[in-house]
Amino acid sequence: MFAAFVRSILAEPRAPDPPARAWWDWVLVGGLLVTAVGEAIFRPDVPERPLAGVVALLVIPVLLWRRSHPLLATAVGFGGALVLEIPMFLGGPAEVGLNTMVCLLLLPYSLYRWASGSEALIGTAIIAVPAVLSLVTNEKLADVIGGTTVLVASFALGAAMRYRAVARQREVQQVRALERGELARELHDTVAHHVSAIAIQAQAGRAVAATDPALAVEALAVIEAEASRTLYEMRTMVRVLRDGDAADATADYAPQRGTGDLDELTRMSPVVQVHRGGDLAGLPQPVEVAVYRICQEAVTNAIRHSLNATAVTVEVTGDVGVVRLRVHDDGEAARAAAGVGYGLLGMAERAKLLGGACQAGPDPAGGWTVEATLPRELPRQMARELPREVPR
């Protein structure tokens, strides 16, 4: 178990994107250098003042590289602290050094915050040598306890800030994944629907062009309208997603379609029929959107994939506590048996996000059926954090 723990530490990479050196880093180092020079000149009580002053002037500047090169900075800083132990071994005073050298506590923090796992282990060993020598030679128990506590706190703070940054990064990645999934569903549901309608009308226009030019012209008009709507929705999405572009509150964030717009699905094909029943008033906006999008995708799939269908029936019913929807076509269910398409996946995801369920498959009585049950009330978390509406 210990070996696995060590391997996990050694495999830990460096923290990504350490902050660049800023102006206040130079101010910090400059202030410490001035303070160290002042101590070396005006404090006659400091043992070995020349040595203490030279070490401080050599060590303090490495703080500028504590984030970009944490191991090197630690080695230089605490190497200097080890040099200050030499007078003790030569029979001199046990405590040599300026008070300014307390700035070295920034190095353990930076080591655990920015270094890789292997660098952190090596740096810890480097820090331990002068730290242990200083604590062992100190005759005051209170100083030993205080020094150990402060050093451990510096390590712990660096590790805690690193863990917090990693947790934040993972949270951002999860949010991005959810947003990508939401955008993928919206793009699939809107664009695929309109393109399917264009393809169907193009087929119908080609079939009647020779015998009834007027109907062909009507089909072309529908194609033009669907293409214009698709282009508008794509441009609106892109405009909202681009940073810095102001969005018009009435156009870009207009309410999405809901149960009241289900009749629009009949424009795709004359075989589509829509029926509503029960209480559908007062539904939350996410439920309204999910009902429309699931029905839209189910109708699109029925028209694209069913063979010889004479009717595609959309039934939406508001019951106590739930909304039920059923989309059934009477054609031959020529769906692929292997794998799940993005449309089926998107319908299931929409229902699941609201705490409901959606199933799709061949109907025992013939054809293909999509059924979904959505709760009328939103889950608590979604009710607290309603997502921003995706533009129509």
- Residue 254 pLDDT > 60: no
- Residue 248 pLDDT > 50: no
The confidence score (pLDDT) of residue 296 equals 87
**Does residue 142 or residue 333 have the better pLDDT?**
142
The confidence score (pLDDT) of residue 107 equals 93
d(CA 326, CA 371): 5
The confidence score (pLDDT) of residue 334 equals 57
The confidence score (pLDDT) of residue 390 equals 41
**Does residue 187 or residue 354 have the better pLDDT?**
354
The confidence band for 167, taking pLDDT boundaries of 50, 70 and 90, is confident
Sign of the torsion angle spanned by Cα atoms 331, 299, 189, 354: negative
Q: What would the pLDDT profile of 275-284 be if each residue is shown by its tens digit?
A: 999 999 889 8
Indicate the CATH number for domain 173-384.
3.30.565.10
Q: What would the mean pLDDT of 328-335 be, rounded to a whole number?
A: 76
**371 φ/ψ angles, rounded to the nearest 5 degrees:** -125, 140
The confidence score (pLDDT) of residue 322 equals 92
- Residue 338 pLDDT > 50: no
Q: What would the pLDDT profile of 95-116 be if each residue is shown by its tens digit?
A: 777 889 899 999 999 999 999 8
- Residue 360 pLDDT > 60: yes
DSSP letter, residue 48: T
DSSP letter, residue 252: T
The confidence band for 309, taking pLDDT boundaries of 50, 70 and 90, is confident
The confidence score (pLDDT) of residue 49 equals 83
3-class DSSP state for residue 272? Answer: strand
Sign of the torsion angle spanned by Cα atoms 146, 152, 158, 164: negative
**Does residue 239 or residue 22 have the better pLDDT?**
22
The confidence band for 317, taking pLDDT boundaries of 50, 70 and 90, is very high
Global pTM value: 0.56
What residues contact residue 83 under an 8 Å CB cut-off, 6+ apart? Answer: 51, 55
The confidence band for 7, taking pLDDT boundaries of 50, 70 and 90, is confident
Where along the chain do its domains lie?
2-139, 173-384
d(CA 111, CA 117): 9
User: In this structure, how many other beta carbons lie within 10 angstroms of the beta carbon of residue 378?
Assistant: 18
CA 96, distance to chain mean position in Å, is: 50
CA 57, distance to chain mean position in Å, is: 44
The confidence band for 380, taking pLDDT boundaries of 50, 70 and 90, is low
State the Rg of the chain over Cα.
35
Q: What would the pLDDT profile of 170-191 be if each residue is shown by its tens digit?
A: 888 887 777 777 777 777 666 7
The confidence score (pLDDT) of residue 154 equals 92
Q: What would the pLDDT profile of 117-153 be if each residue is shown by its tens digit?
A: 889 899 999 998 888 887 777 767 777 788 788 889 9
Q: What would the pLDDT profile of 29-63 be if each residue is shown by its tens digit?
A: 999 999 999 988 888 888 888 888 899 999 999 99
Each as own residue / partner, the long-range contacts of residues 176-183 (CB below 8 Å, 24 or more positions apart, any chain) are 181/349, 182/387, 182/390, 183/237, 183/241, 183/390
d(CA 60, CA 215): 85
Sign of the torsion angle spanned by Cα atoms 166, 167, 169, 173: positive
The confidence band for 245, taking pLDDT boundaries of 50, 70 and 90, is very low
